[in-house]
Structures are given as structure tokens and as C-alpha cells.
Amino acid sequence: MDIGGAFQRGRGGPGGWWIVYEPELHLGADVVVPDLAGWRRERLPEMPDVPAFVLAPDWVCEVVSASTARLDRVRKLPLYAREGIAHCWLVDPRQETLEVYRLTTGKWLLVATHERNERVRAEPFAELELELGALWIGAG
């Protein structure tokens, strides 16, 4: 499953963002590795050459699997909320779903759920239309 590639297939990709595959995040005493993370370039003007990031991203994406679902939902989501990460996507290739969350007053608000072959514009990348069907190819 190549969710990062979906950004490359879009028209010009999400402008104003750095998108990184599996970055190591040092968030206080916690170390986590989301599947994807994105920083707005206004907050991170240049991509640093570092082994780990201490600046929390603006968006994270977790690809949920049977072995990671509990970690992603129970440990990582509260940690991301604590650190003020504004947006989170949970992608489930088995269910062919995309859950889009926004941090609102310190709590996650589910703002959209998409499935199967929908074409979606999901925050924070509303300018980019994603073809979800392309994500599931080879994901089974």
C-alpha cells in the first residue's frame, strides 16, 4: 500500500507541506514512528537532516493492521492529541476505509469516513483529490 504515492499522483501534490515516510518522532519522553507525517512549510521551512524530529508534525497517518490497531488507537492517538497534532488519518486496507480526524479542544473529532473507491478531498489536503481505490491495490 503506497499512501504517500497518492500525493504524487495528485495534481502537484499538497502544496506547502513536507511529507515524510516513517519519521521517528521524539515527543517529550515518547518516541513513535507514524507511517506518514506532514509538516506545513510555514512551520518547518527547510527539511532538517536529522535522525529524529522533535517538532510535532501538523498531520499524521497511520495504516491500521491487525497487529498495530491497538497501538495506533490506544497509545498513539492520545499522544498525538497531547502534542497538538492537528490532523490524523487512520487508513485500514482490510476494510478499505479512511477515517479523517481533526483535533478540537484537545480531543479527536471524526470529521469524515470514506471507503472503497471514493474520490475524496480530505482535510488538511482539501486541494488534493485522492482516489482511494488506488490505495487498496496490492494491500490484501
Residues 4-61: tens digit of each pLDDT: 555 543 333 456 889 999 999 999 999 999 999 999 999 999 999 999 999 999 999 9
| C-alpha span between 115 and 121 (Å, rounded) | 13
Give the single-character DSSP code of 57: P
Residues 91-118: tens digit of each pLDDT: 999 999 999 999 999 999 999 999 999 9
Tell me the C-alpha to C-alpha distance, in Å, between residue 30 and each of 25, 82, 95. 8, 11, 29
Cβ atoms of 60 and 77 within 8 Å: the answer is no
Q: Please check whether the domain covering 3-136 is classified as CATH 3.90.1570.10.
A: yes
Q: Please provide residue 84's backbone torsions phi and psi, each rounded to the nearest 5 degrees.
A: 75, 20
Q: Please, which residues have CB within 8 angstroms of residue 3's CB and are 6 or more apart in sequence?
A: 35, 36, 61, 63, 91, 135
Q: Please, which residues have CB within 8 angstroms of residue 19's CB and are 6 or more apart in sequence?
A: 4, 7, 13, 36, 37, 38
